[in-house]
Amino acid sequence: MYRILMIANILFFVIVLIINTLAVTSPFWGKSIVELTDLHANMLTPEHFSSSIWSIIYPLLSLSIIDQIKTVLKKEAVPREVQSVGIGFIITFVLNCGWLIAWEAEYLILSFAIIFSNWLTLIWVYYRLVGVEKARWIYTIPFSIYLAWICIGALLHLNLLLIYLGFDFFGLSEEYWTAALIVMGIFGTLLVLYLNQDIWFTLVLIWAFLGIFLRSKRLFYENNWVTIMSLFAMVFLAVVGTWTQFRKIKSSD
């Protein structure tokens, strides 16, 4: 049963790579991902360079897939990580493809529903993996980074959806509401740091806030609350993350 599941994981990952490659090289509905990002940009949108993190996520995810290929070919014992997660790998791969298609088709409500579902799925996968005794980094780190980036994506899509639906932000301007979303991102990261001392998750959020800060500074100048809060988020998470890692290393001695 698990060997069939690993073969399915491998196949679905290949499909993800193919669809993502086609989306970049031959956009399904004519507009590139960059064009769509600019078209639907809001104050939480980071600079374009931020999305280059996918060039790290996919190679890292491929490490777990290579491990499963090796396991299938050599008929070795099924990795404990695969047993723990089960069909979770496939679900997140399917949602990844579904979001890309919905986003390129500009189905904004559907794309939010899919990325939110992927966020929930990745939370489940992540905590199943960290719950495995002596789980290997080729499984935990890739999904930690993947989850962190989808957290930012989910916040960005939430902001986009509220704007699309004409939400009045409880009387607040978009600037203050976006700053509040950044605060949500900070608290979410602190929760992960508290529960798992996960520096990789934290580094991704710092990277995302850097992109948000630079774009906000370029378009809205320094005296904007999005600029201020994204800068604060970077510095604060860097300090707390470093302190958490120091304590983790010290406690392991």
What pLDDT digit, counting tens, does each position of 68-91 carry?
999 999 888 888 888 889 899 999
In the predicted structure, residue 223 carries a pLDDT above the cut 90: no
pLDDT at 1: 72
* DSSP state, residue 86: T
Q: What is the pLDDT of residue 141?
A: 94
**What is the rounded CA–CA span in Å between residue 213 and residue 202?**
16
Task: Give yes or no for residue 220 having a pLDDT over 80.
Answer: no
Give 164-195 pLDDT, tens digit per residue.
Answer: 888 877 777 888 889 999 999 999 999 999 98
Answer for the pair 47, 215: CB distance below 8 angstroms, yes or no. yes
**DSSP-assigned letters across all residues of 26-53:** S-TTS--HHHHHHHT--TTPPPGGGGGG
pLDDT at 67 over 70: yes
The pair of three-digit structure tokens given for residue 156, joined into one six-digit string: 């960005």
Rounded-to-integer distance, Cα 108 and Cα 171, Å: 23
Report the 10 Å Cβ neighbour count for 134: 5
CA R_g for the chain:
19
How does pLDDT run across 97-122, given as a tens digit for each residue? 999 999 999 999 999 999 999 999 99
Report yes or no: 182 and 209 within 8 Å, Cβ to Cβ.
Answer: yes
When pLDDT is averaged across residues 26-45 and rounded to a whole number, the result is 87
Query: Looking at residue 222, what is its pLDDT?
Result: 66
Residue located via tokens 């919905």: 102
Please say if the pLDDT value at position 197 is more than 80.
yes
The phi, psi pair for 170, rounded to 5°, reads: 55, 35
